[in-house]
Amino acid sequence: MTITPGDIWIAEIPFTDGSASKKRPVLILWLDAQDVIVAAITSASPRSVTDVTLQDWQQSGLRVASVVRLARLDCLEQSLLIARIGHISQVDAQQVMDVWSSDVKPKF
């Protein structure tokens, strides 16, 4: 299984309390050894400046209009990735990078 930054995958996301998990679409941001750093993708409306609405969601393999939540990052073992469903478009990728550069910063 080849994993590339910019890919959109379905992943098994464990709940923080360890009680269960849920299958969710995620955007692969980068790889770190056997882990991947991902941003959650949701069909909910944007709720902050770090939510990026995807213009080319259908081209990316998503079933519904979607938002990348850059404030909702996870570090997952690659084994939690279930299936690749697509790749982010260049236009949407640029928007994600622009929001990351301007709005995703440590607050300490």
For residue range 14-54, list pLDDT tens digits in order. 887 878 989 999 999 999 999 999 999 999 999 999 999 99
Q: What is the pLDDT of residue 96?
A: 98
Per-residue CA distances from 65 to 55, 58, 69 (Å): 8, 8, 13
Annotate 35-93 with three-state secondary structure: EEEEEEEECCCCCCCCEEECCCCCCCCCCCCCEEEEEEEEEEEHHHEEEEEEECCHHHH
Q: What is the pLDDT of residue 16?
A: 79
Q: What is the pLDDT of residue 43?
A: 97
105 or 22: which carries more pLDDT confidence? 22
**Which two structure tokens, joined as six digits, stand for 101?**
């550069």
For residue range 70-104, list pLDDT tens digits in order. 999 999 999 999 999 999 999 999 999 999 999 99
Give CATH for domain 7-103.
2.30.30.110
Spatial separation of the C-alpha atoms in residues 31 and 102, rounded to whole Å: 22
